[in-house]
Amino acid sequence: GQNIDQPTEMTATEGAIVQINCTYQTSGFNGLFWYQQHAGEAPTFLSYNVLDGLEEKGRFSSFLSRSKGYSYLLLKELQMKDSASYLCAVDSGGSYIPTFGRGTSLIVHP
Amino acid sequence: DAGVTQSPTHLIKTRGQQVTLRCSPKSGHDTVSWYQQALGQGPQFIFQYYEEEERQRGNFPDRFSGHQFPNYSSELNVNALLLGDSALYLCASSRATRNEQFFGPGTRLTVL
């Protein structure tokens, strides 16, 4: 079976740093995706981690620990436009098809 | 370069009816995947098409079927609609060997 767990909602202040955690238990693992989805819009790709460790991409970084079944997305210098849902998804079949969690709704306030 | 496009944007149907949703992939992409996203949930994988064949399928009943055309565009058909089929239907395109999928804006289906 597949189980992907992330917090339902988080709030943070503009300019701050926020870490969104994701734990997973899946039958098979090839990589982990993070997507951003603004309300009423399509998801947009943020990252895909295969190896353990931190990958940085501008203000966004993603971390993976395969042995712990754990990942996090780190957002620095938060901006109001970062208010969105952040979706953690696992590629368990090796064909880059993500199995999504429910998503974390991030609210950034002034 | 147009991204992934989907039509229609919104659709209202009644129980028992049939619906067809359409998707045009991003230029250069040959693989199309379909997802269902209920309110407050993450997208759920329905199936993926490559070279006009269904390559993989998620846990959806046979009422959900699809097709891919030679120009890589795709259709999703749902028969015998149920109230629970009300959702946002997302199409995503990619190149067969790449991990990044580009999503379309979705079709909002309401079943009354």
- Transcribe A27-88 into DSSP letters: SS-SEEEEEEE-TTS--EEEEEE-SSEEEEETTEEEEEETTTTEEEEEE-S--GGG-EEEEE
Query: A29 — contact with chain B (CB < 8 Å)?
Result: no
* Strands A9-13 and A104-109, bridge-based pairing: parallel
> Which residue from B4, B48, B104 is facing A97, i.e. has the nearest CB?
B48
pLDDT, averaged across chain B: 94
Query: What is residue A1's predicted lDDT score, i.e. its pLDDT?
Result: 65
Whether B21 has a pLDDT exceeding 70, the answer reads yes
Distance of alpha carbon B34 from alpha carbon A100, whole angstroms: 13
Mean pLDDT to the nearest integer, A27-36: 93
The model's confidence at residue B99, banded by pLDDT at 50, 70 and 90, is confident
The model's confidence at residue A93, banded by pLDDT at 50, 70 and 90, is confident
Query: What is residue A97's predicted lDDT score, i.e. its pLDDT?
Result: 86
Q: Are the CB atoms for A36 and A86 separated by under 8 Å? A: yes
Q: Are the CB atoms for A37 and A85 separated by under 8 Å? A: yes
Mean pLDDT to the nearest integer, B69-79: 97
**Residue A96 Cα, gap to closest chain B Cα (Å):** 5
Query: What is residue B1's predicted lDDT score, i.e. its pLDDT?
Result: 64
pLDDT-wise least confident of A64-78, A95-109, B79-93: A95-109
Cβ contacts from A onto B, under 8 A: 47
Asked if A43's CB is within 8 angstroms of B43's CB, the reply is yes
The model's confidence at residue B66, banded by pLDDT at 50, 70 and 90, is very high
Q: Which residues of B touch A42 (CB under 8 A)?
A: 4, 90, 103-106
For residue B47, what are the contacts with CB-CB under 8 A and spacing of at least 6?
B33, B34, B54, B55, B56, B57, B58, B60, B64, B66
In chain A, whose CA is at the least distance from the CA of B38? A102
Whether B3 has a pLDDT exceeding 80, the answer reads yes
Query: What is residue A95's predicted lDDT score, i.e. its pLDDT?
Result: 80
Query: A95 — contact with chain B (CB < 8 Å)?
Result: yes
In chain B, whose CA is at the least distance from the CA of A32? B99
